[in-house]
Structure 1
Amino acid sequence: MNRFRVEVISCTPNPQQTIYAAMHQDYSESFVVEERDRWPAEAQAGEVIVKRLLAGERGHYGPLEHAMIVFNVGYFPHSVMQQARTHRIGVSFDVQSMRYTGQRVADAAAGKIDLEDIFYLRPVGQYLDRQGKKYTYTETDRAKDLELCRQAALRYQELLEAGYAEEHARGILPFDYRQHFVVSFTLRSLMHFLDLRSKKDAQIEIQQLCDLLWPHFQTWAPAIAQWYASTRLGKARLAP
């Protein structure tokens, strides 16, 4: 799993002040931007949000939608993208399509890049699914699967050389080819995504995605992240 990557492209530079301003405008007589010099500092704004908006689980999460963060997510298997886009989470994705981006598969077939940079296979080990089924994924099993990936890459290369379109040739690839994507969250939708996908019965690869998103949340909006960690993280309390 060490190929998985999450990097921040951009984000609201003062998310807790931004949320504070939205919250404050809800009940303020004034045009709140004219009071900007009297807004609490970023750290203090986070404390105010926790106290007035989040504590007590009042459910008023609208102001959290004014803070945005955009991530570049890399090297995750296609199954993660499928699960990430399931349920109404209120985010925007732009995803490597495999209609125009197949050269790396041909390069792997030719031995120019590591096959596992293109295809994802789970690590060897003991597994337990959501229905309680236990099984062992062995080195022998994994070697067989990796060989199937190699054969699929070779066939893909043959199809491209024969003039096939990438969108046609991709049909013979293993399901879990790796995809990169850009995803944008509001702070509210980021919390909702973590609610859904950080729980222990989620797909293990998407749990790893949550693990990589989490430090960025902590750095970006620390007071809110601290509250979230103590009240919601890993508890599957849905739809803030």
Structure 2
Amino acid sequence: MKVQLMAHTQLSDKFRSELGLHNLRATDGQAVALTAIRTCYSPGKPSEIVANEGARYFGKAASDGEGGTDADRLIRHIMRSKHLSTVEHLTFTFTVEGVSRALLAQLTRHRVGFSFSVQSQRYVRMGSGDKSGGFDYVTPATITDEKVAPSNDFGPAYVERTATEYFEDAMHDAQHAYDRLRRAGVPPEDARAVLPQAAACSLVMTANLRALLDFYGKRRKGRGAQAEITDLAEELRKEVVAVEPWTDQFFEEA
């Protein structure tokens, strides 16, 4: 799995030049969040809020004793009071590579606040002789070289084999079935029916901060999610926190 932040909310050059943020301890995301929050409660115009109130919020220590600036305090208050529409204005676009179709099925259940563009098995041909070189696959961590107990169901010629061997054989057989169907003239959109849930895919995903926090709260470690999507949740968190460090506490509280 490879996850990389491709783009995220940033102030326009024109808006930035009017704010004087160079003297304030604030990220672009914090400036957007403060503007959205204070627009709801201030008589001031949205275009003027950070310019007029930035020094107050970004230039003073938080009064709640939890650290950061007073903007951090305000954002904490808003988040904990569940006025979460104010952080929907912060969006993040990721490239996600090498995840299974099983994960994709789980991921796309998160619809509100998410957008997906996924590598197509209909138009990307997965044959051994195609440009793709055949389909890649993701092996679950629980499939290991530990021995599989023998069973009489397989007859006297049965040879004990590992879970890894069984899994890899299944992937090999699926590739052969796909290749044979394609050689028989079956179009890719129908031949793909034999590809497994382990087949790897790539996607571009955009989500707003509220949606990401909700996703993380449901898919983080310890919440009963499958390991692969738990790993994805952690990677997304790392990428967001790297550019907007103030969000870390909200992922922790999710």
**TM bracket, shorter-chain basis:** 0.7 to 0.9
- For residues 67 and 189 of structure 1, the distance between their equivalents in structure 2, rounded to whole angstroms, comes to 10
Structure ranking higher on relative contact order (CA contacts 8 Å, 6+ apart): 1
- TM-superposed CA distance for 1:7, in Å, is 1.1
Q: Is the 8 A contact 2:121 2:192 kept in 1?
A: yes
User: Where does residue 145 of structure 1 map in the other structure?
Assistant: 167
- For residues 216 and 206 of structure 2, the distance between their equivalents in structure 1, rounded to whole angstroms, comes to 14
- Equivalent position to 1:123, from 141, 157, 181: 141
Count of paired positions: 213
- 64 and 168 in structure 1: CA distance in 2 versus 1, 3 angstrom threshold: same
- Equivalent position to 2:231, from 205, 208, 214: 208
- TM-superposed CA distance for 1:151, in Å, is 1.8
> Is residue 220 of structure 2 the alignment partner of residue 198 of structure 1?
yes
> Is residue 58 of structure 2 the alignment partner of residue 44 of structure 1?
yes
> Is residue 45 of structure 2 the alignment partner of residue 22 of structure 1?
no
Question: Percent identity over the alignment?
Answer: 24
- For residues 193 and 29 of structure 1, the distance between their equivalents in structure 2, rounded to whole angstroms, comes to 34
- Equivalent position to 1:106, from 122, 125, 128: 128
Q: Is the 8 A contact 1:90 1:189 kept in 2?
A: yes
> Is residue 108 of structure 2 the alignment partner of residue 85 of structure 1?
yes
- Ranges in structure 2 where 5+ consecutive residues have no aligned partner: 11-27, 60-67, 149-160
* Structure 1 range deviating more: 170-179 or 54-63: 54-63
Structure number with larger C-alpha Rg = 2
Post-superposition CA distance 1:101-128 (Å, at most 9, x none) = 124x4259x9x95x7x7112213568xx
> Is residue 248 of structure 2 the alignment partner of residue 225 of structure 1?
yes
- Ranges in structure 1 where 5+ consecutive residues have no aligned partner: 127-135, 233-240
Normalised by the size of structure 2, how large is the TM-score? 0.74
> Is residue 7 of structure 2 the alignment partner of residue 7 of structure 1?
no
The one-letter code matched in structure 2 to 1:169 is A
- TM-superposed CA distance for 1:161, in Å, is 2.6
Post-superposition CA distance 1:34-91 (Å, at most 9, x none) = 34434538x9398445412433821111110011111111110011111112255431
- TM-superposed CA distance for 1:163, in Å, is 2.3
> Is residue 179 of structure 2 the alignment partner of residue 157 of structure 1?
yes
Normalised by the size of structure 1, how large is the TM-score? 0.78
